[in-house]
Structure 1
């Protein structure tokens, strides 16, 4: 019963808001646009305050610092420079089918983390 009364209240609020928007649209459209810009600006400012005060402080944890350091280290190790293209030079494709392109395997950007391998449980005992 409580859920039904809440949904009725929500529908009434949405209906009244729709009636108010339509009335303002037909009577004072410039005022409606001004109010919409003010509302959007207020929402952006409120979101920015919440983000910079609460969310950003949580993301600077020790784990995130270690992750960013590992990403930086991986990029420095596996960074490949793109060859410079010459405007006048054109390469000709080999026409003989005997020449095949070599497939280059990309290096995996993974790092081995030492763990407690000697403490592994015996799977047969389950």
Structure 2
């Protein structure tokens, strides 16, 4: 019931806006069109300013260029190629049917030798 009341209010506001637009269009057409052109122009101006201030600086920074260059060099060094989604799907289907032997990766962790001869005195001993 609460949702129906909200939707009625929204329909009422949209109806008032439509009536206002129609009366402006019929009563004072030249001013209405002037206001529409002005609003569209101001919107384009704000979007352009936003793009040049925020988006453009972020995309053309030196860090981004250096990062892209590093990625390119890394791909060349390790012969990594970008593969399409189709090839990945085909590979997943074929790999699910075949069992690959598991590779054991070398651990980069180091065991720290301590005093193992000392035993802790516990209440259970």
Q: TM-score, normalised by structure 2?
A: 0.47
The answer to which structure, 1 or 2, has the higher relative contact order (CA under 8 A, 6+ apart) is 1
Higher helix share: 2
What is the TM-score normalised by the length of structure 1?
A: 0.47
